[in-house]
Amino acid sequence: MTRIIVADDHTLVRAGLQRILAGSDDLEVVGEAANGAQAMALLEQTPCDVLLLDLSMPGRSGMDLIAQIKASFPRVAILVLTMHGEEQYAVRALKAGAVGYMTKESAPSELVSAVRKVVAGGVHLSLAMAERIAQDLATAAGDTPGYRRLSDREFDVFLMLARGLNLSDIADSLCVSAKTVSTYKARVLQKLDLKSQTELVHYAIKHNLLRDSL
């Protein structure tokens, strides 16, 4: 029996995942968490094989959480299930220690097969995501674009700014102060050699980083 913990801050999402996984006799949800702290506490108390993890829960960066979980519980397979369809998020999640990456638009059957694959030691990416990552890496082979040099938190802020969110909205989403977000914004503009949020939006469109949100 494969033991699964579901970490997502939306109750309805957790309930939906529970129903999908309950349809397979070899899969069992042994716990649920609504944020990173709850996920860490649950992992310490409950033996588990696979962690289904949302990247956008309140609090610390999803990438930081993946790295911490992988360091503390190396045998747990982390399968990211998120709304972020951008390949840069997938690349960063895999580098942090995840072994699978899916969007919440994936079919239920793909979720079940992905869980079985990662618990068996494999890596799961949808075919479309794998192709996009390969194309992205091939395009950038000769020149590393500036956005790749952003930290995980800077990249989060960068994409939120590019989507038109203001500092207060971003601060609420990341559970930090607006002043902290302003500092991240300044770092992003400096690293990308941009002068304004308008230029930042144009930069994101030019590099095809908003393909799933426009």
CATH number of domain containing 165: 1.10.10.10
Question: What angle, rounded to 10 degrees, do the helices at 87-96 and 152-162 form?
Answer: 160
Contacts of 174 (CB under 8 A, 6+ apart): 58, 153, 156, 157, 181
The verdict on 59 and 78 lying in the same domain is yes
Residue 139: pLDDT over 80: no
Q: Is residue 212 part of a domain?
A: no
3-state DSSP percent of the chain in helix, strand and coil, to 5: 55, 15, 35
**Better-scored residue on pLDDT, 10 or 207:** 10
pLDDT confidence of 141, banded at 50, 70, 90? low
> Averaged over 185-213, what is the pLDDT?
86
| Angle formed at CA 91 by CA 208 and CA 119, multiple of 5 degrees | 140
| pTM for this entry | 0.72
Cα end-to-end span (Å), the chain: 41
Question: Residue 214: pLDDT band by 50, 70, 90 thresholds?
Answer: very low
Query: Which two structure tokens, joined as six digits, stand for 172?
Result: 């609420």
* Percent of the chain whose pLDDT exceeds 90: 58
Query: What's the whole-number mean pLDDT along residues 62-87?
Result: 90
Sign of CA dihedral 96, 27, 123, 207: negative
User: pLDDT tens-digit profile of 104-126?
Assistant: 888 889 999 999 999 999 999 88
- Who has greater pLDDT, 140 or 121? 121
CB of 128 closer than 8 Å to CB of 139 = no
Contact 3, 47 (CB under 8 A): yes
Choose between 141 and 134: higher pLDDT.
134
Residues 150, 127 share a domain: no
pLDDT of residue 192: 92
Residue 65 inside a domain? The answer is yes
Which residue's structure tokens are 């799961």? 124
**97, containing H or E segment:** none
The predicted structure's pLDDT at residue 213: 45
Angle made by CA atoms 195, 199, 201, in degrees to the nearest 5:
135
CA distance 5 to 29: 6
Within this chain, do residues 115 and 162 fall inside the same structural domain, yes or no?
A: no
pLDDT value, residue 206: 87
H/E element, 53: strand 50-53
Helix axes 167-174, 152-162, angle to 10 degrees: 140
Domain that holds residue 70: 2-135
Q: Looking at the structure, do residues 9 and 68 belong to the same domain, yes or no?
A: yes
Kindly state whether residue 9 falls inside one of the protein's structural domains.
yes
